[in-house]
Amino acid sequence: MGRQVLVTGGTGYIGSHTVVELQAAGYDVVIIDDLSNSTAEVIDNIEKISGIRPAFEEFNLLNNVQLEAFFEKYSDIDAIIHFAAFKAVGESVAKPLSYYRNNLVSLMNILDCMSKYHVSNLVFSSSCTVYGQPDQLPVTENTPKKDAESPYGNTKAISEEILRDVVQVTPQVNVIALRYFNPIGAHPTSLIGELPRGVPGNLVPFITQTAAGIRQQLSVFGDDYDTPDGSNIRDYINVVDLAKAHVIAIDRLINKTNAERFEFFNIGTGKGVSVLEVVHTFEEATGVKLNYKIVDRRPGDVVKIYADTTIANTVLGWKAETSLAETLLSAWNWEKSVRNL
């Protein structure tokens, strides 16, 4: 039997792409997911891509009795990737307690079980949100962190602090936190991708739904920022490239090549792209015209952020490979396959 990796949130957007890459690298995968923001069909589609069906247990990580029963049943877990979390920024402002409870208690339950069941290796889904609006760009891993802009963002900042403190007193535990910039796109097979429930909050799902005719018009939130074309700048990272960074992080922990017991890495392209550039690149890559309008700024948006990826490039040997145009085309192909267009 190969090395076994537990992937929490493994039927979600980034989780499902990571499961595929882990299986391609020879890992056995067990998923825990409560299907609160995904469906069991994702497992079928992972199997279609990989030819391997991952094991799947459906429950919520707040339930520590079920989590302990899980570790009794799966006693050979070599590493964990913890994706499962709430991630809607706006919703987190409306429901802070629900975000703090879900995102922090689930992490603490996992850490308890790592000690109890002697699991040493954890990869944690973090976010560039921990930097807030940085004073200097691009951001390196050592750029000072600012206050989070939302309870969601704060759960990621606090989670990193919890991990740092736990690693300090638990010699057996090793953690890599990957700070994602803006993950977009879908698997080239169009069998898995991002499936937001309701009105999408994120840019690219809103674009593809507008192109598909589900939304009438894309709102571009502001063109009067201090940027070359006035719209916000982000670092959009292809989800398959991002998934591959997790496999490298798992290899690093399992092979014990990590330099420190708590490491963190920026996972982005290193390139800042504006909202209007995303819109126009989408139009060029797909040949579909987007109906869009400039509207007021969205409260809480940082003006510009993009990654310095030197450390991920040199230490992990990981690099973003897929172009923005190809990535946006993959998002469009996925939207078309979901809508039978």
Which positions lie near ligand UD1, rule CB under 6 A? 87, 89, 127, 129, 149-150, 153, 182, 201-203, 206, 218-221, 232, 234, 275, 298, 300-302
Three-class secondary structure of residue 166 per DSSP: helix
> Which residues, 6+ apart, have CB-to-CB distance to 110 below 8 Å?
8, 61, 67, 80, 82, 122
Residues 13, 27, 99, 152: which is the catalytic one? 152
What are the CA-CA distances from residue 206 to residues 43, 198, 209, 245, 303 (Å)?
Answer: 25, 11, 5, 26, 20
Cβ distance to ligand UD1 smaller for residue 12 or 54: 12
For ligand UD1, which is the closer residue by CB, 74 or 221?
221
Q: Which lies closer to ligand UD1 via its Cβ, residue 129 or residue 309?
A: 129
Quote the CA–CA distance of 128 and 336 in Å, as a whole number. 30
Q: What sign does the CA torsion over 122, 56, 36, 278 have?
A: positive
At residue 219's C-alpha, the angle toward residues 207 and 225, to 5°, is 110
Backbone angles phi, psi at 237, to 5 degrees: -110, 130
As measured in angstroms, the least distance from the Cβ of 253 to ligand UD1 is 23
Q: Quote the DSSP letter at residue 238.
A: E
Number of H helices, E strands in the chain: 12, 13
CB of 266 to ligand UD1, least distance (A): 13
Tally of residues, the chain: 341
Strand 174-180 versus strand 121-127 pairing type: parallel
DSSP characters for 77-98? EEEEEE------HHHHHH-HHH
The residue type of 22 is L
Which of residues 10 and 134 has its CB atom nearest to ligand UD1 in the complex? 134
Least spacing, CB of residue 128 vs ligand UD1, in Å? 6
Q: Which residue, 54 or 270, is less far from ligand UD1 as judged by CB?
A: 270
CB closer to ligand UD1, 3 vs 234: 234
117 is catalytic: no
Min dist CB 74 to ligand UD1, Å, is: 29
In the complex, the smallest distance separating the C-beta of residue 327 from ligand UD1, rounded to whole angstroms, is 13
Residue 87 C-beta: closest distance to ligand UD1, Å: 5
Distances (CA, A) of 19 to 128, 137, 320, 324: 22, 32, 18, 23
How far apart CA 337 and CA 191 sit, in angstroms, is 8
- Residues with catalytic function: 152
